[in-house]
Amino acid sequence: MGHFKKLSKHVAAKLGLYRDPKTTREELSFKYIRGNGLEIGALHSPLPVRAGVSVCYVDRVDREESIRKFPHLDAAEVVDPHIDDGFVLNSISDASQDFLIANHVLEHASNPLAVLKNWARVLKPKGVLFVSVPAADKCFDKGRPLTTLDHFVEDYNAGAAGNAKILSERNRPHYGEWLRISEPNIYADRKEKYVAPSPEDMERRIDFLLDRAEEIHFHTFSTESFRSLLSYFADGLDTAMNLARLEGAESKAAEVRRVYARDLKMSGCLECGGCEKTGKCVVKDDMQTVYPHFEAADVIILASPIFFYAVTAQVKAPIDRSQAMWCKRFLEKGPDERKQYDSGKGYLIAVGATKGKSLFDCVKLEAKYFYDALDMTYEGGLFYRDLEKRSDVENHPDKLQEAFELGMKAVKTANVE
Higher pLDDT: 26 or 370? It is 370
CATH code for position 74: 3.40.50.150
Question: Do 243 and 318 sit in the same domain of this protein?
Answer: no
Question: Do 277 and 129 sit in the same domain of this protein?
Answer: no
Question: Do 238 and 267 sit in the same domain of this protein?
Answer: no
Q: Is residue 387 in a domain?
A: yes
Name 291's Cβ contacts closer than 8 Å, sequence gap at least 6: 281, 324, 325
> 295: pLDDT confidence band, cut at 50, 70 and 90?
confident
- Residue 326's φ and ψ, nearest 5 degrees, are -65, -45
Angstrom distance (rounded) from CA 149 to CA 232: 8
Q: Is residue 215 in a domain?
A: no
Angstrom distance (rounded) from CA 376 to CA 319: 13
**Per-residue model confidence (pLDDT) at position 13:** 46
Q: Is residue 253 in a domain?
A: no
Angstrom distance (rounded) from CA 45 to CA 62: 15
Angstrom distance (rounded) from CA 114 to CA 218: 14
**Per-residue model confidence (pLDDT) at position 46:** 93
Angstrom distance (rounded) from CA 289 to CA 170: 49
Question: Do 273 and 400 sit in the same domain of this protein?
Answer: yes
SS3 247: strand
Residues listed for the chain: 417
SS3 3: strand
Helical (H) or strand (E) element with 347:
strand 345-351
How confident is the model over 254-275, as a mean pLDDT?
84
Report CA 328 to chain centroid distance, whole Å: 36
Query: How far is the CA of 171 from the CAs of 109, 110, 132, 175, in angstroms?
Result: 10, 7, 22, 6
Angstrom distance (rounded) from CA 102 to CA 85: 13
Question: Do 229 and 353 sit in the same domain of this protein?
Answer: no
Higher pLDDT: 135 or 407? It is 135
392: amino acid identity, one letter: D
Q: Is residue 188 in a domain?
A: no
How confident is the model over 309-316, as a mean pLDDT?
92
- Domains of the chain: total: 2
Name 96's Cβ contacts closer than 8 Å, sequence gap at least 6: 122, 124
> 244: pLDDT confidence band, cut at 50, 70 and 90?
low
The yes-or-no verdict on residue 29 having pLDDT over 50 is yes
Query: How far is the CA of 388 from the CAs of 64, 192, 359, 402, in angstroms?
Result: 53, 58, 14, 19
- Residue 37's φ and ψ, nearest 5 degrees, are -165, -165
Q: Is residue 403 in a domain?
A: yes
Question: Do 134 and 31 sit in the same domain of this protein?
Answer: yes
Q: Is residue 236 in a domain?
A: yes
Question: Do 233 and 354 sit in the same domain of this protein?
Answer: no
CATH code for position 309: 3.40.50.360
Q: How far apart are the first and last CA of the chain?
A: 19
Question: Do 100 and 230 sit in the same domain of this protein?
Answer: yes
> 414: pLDDT confidence band, cut at 50, 70 and 90?
low
Q: Is residue 38 in a domain?
A: yes
Where in the sequence is the domain holding 294, given as residue range(s)?
261-413
Side-chain half-sphere CA neighbours of 198 within 13 A: 2
Query: How far is the CA of 207 from the CAs of 200, 201, 204, 211, 212, in angstroms?
Result: 11, 10, 5, 6, 9
How confident is the model over 205-212, as a mean pLDDT?
93
Going by C-alpha positions, the residue among 233, 172, 235, 256 that lies closest to residue 206 is 172
pLDDT in tens, 107-145: 999 999 999 999 999 999 889 999 999 989 889 999 999
Q: Is residue 164 in a domain?
A: no
Question: Do 227 and 113 sit in the same domain of this protein?
Answer: yes
SS3 348: strand
Going by C-alpha positions, the residue among 211, 72, 229, 244 that lies closest to residue 148 is 229
Question: Do 235 and 282 sit in the same domain of this protein?
Answer: no
Question: Do 242 and 347 sit in the same domain of this protein?
Answer: no
Question: Do 274 and 320 sit in the same domain of this protein?
Answer: yes
Name 147's Cβ contacts closer than 8 Å, sequence gap at least 6: 219, 220, 221, 225
Higher pLDDT: 360 or 249? It is 360
Angstrom distance (rounded) from CA 88 to CA 111: 11
> 5: pLDDT confidence band, cut at 50, 70 and 90?
very low
Angstrom distance (rounded) from CA 12 to CA 18: 18
Q: To the nearest whole number, what is the mean pLDDT of the chain? A: 85
Share of the chain above pLDDT 70, in %: 88
